[in-house]
Amino acid sequence: MTAPRRAAVLGSPIAHSLSPVLHRTAYRELGLTDWSYDRFEVDEAALPAFLADLGPEWAGLSLTMPLKRAVIPLLDDITDTAASVEAVNTVVRTADGRTLGDNTDIPGMVAALRERGIEEVASAAVLGAGATASSALAALARVCTGEIAVYVRSEARAAEMRQWGKRLDVEVRVEDWADAAEALHRPLVIATTPAGTTDALSGSVPERPATLFDVLYDPWPTELAARWSAYGGAVVSGLDLLVHQAVLQVEQMTGRTPAPLEAMRAAGEHALAAR
């Protein structure tokens, strides 16, 4: 009989996280009856002690804000993907007990787009300039062959996005948020802003929109996503991203592939509908 294994999601705030629903569904579908997945309220100050106390039964961790960068100096190593955006959302305990940090948000974005048939676009736009925007740029480095316009509110954010563009070797043009309606005419628009931020843009959706990737999932749909869908455009949701990145986490932590994508998505949809 194998020893029970543990995993969890850490962050602050954490009560809203859908990760336990997704991972527990995966364990059930994979027959991993001796695995558990919990959530813990952990901020940056408490993170070192939490990691130091992990026993050998721990297989891995999912990390959300504000821990994605704070965790890096506490780990034995990180992958090139995580290093490219200086953000870790996945920690796996290797066979020799070392801690390895990875970022499944980036390949999760790419997988969510490919699921909708988006393999390559000639140009794209990113709305916002926070931590998710840098992951969006890293994902676009894999699917966009041309210019990426990033719409920001401040010169400080503009400078940051230009730096990320150079680091990720993507062609970034920074634009003022006041002109964000222009972004909606691009073949692919990735909205990375907090809830409500893009509501005012819903009236500017073109008659034949292409693809919108809105990283929010609660509340859903956003006003922008609802208008986009009404006009016949393709919409990729934050739940799609959450499920695809969780699939990669489950596979890394358990060593079992493939993770049950559709069962995890259905569980996430059910949990959101119940809120």
* Active centre residues (catalytic): 68
Distance CA 82, CA 272 (A): 29
AA letter at 82: A
Cβ-based neighbour number of residue 77 at 10 Å = 12
Within 10 Å of residue 129's Cβ, how many Cβ atoms? Answer: 26
Instruction: Retrieve residue 219's tokens.
Output: 């509340």
DSSP string, 147-191: -EEEEESSHHHHHHHHHHHHHHT--EEEEEGGGGGGGGGSSEEEE
140 closest CA partner among 117, 171, 162, 116: 171
Tokens representing residue 49 in the block: 């002690």
> What strand order describes the sheet that includes 5-11?
35-41, 5-11, 58-63, 90-93, 99-102, 77-78
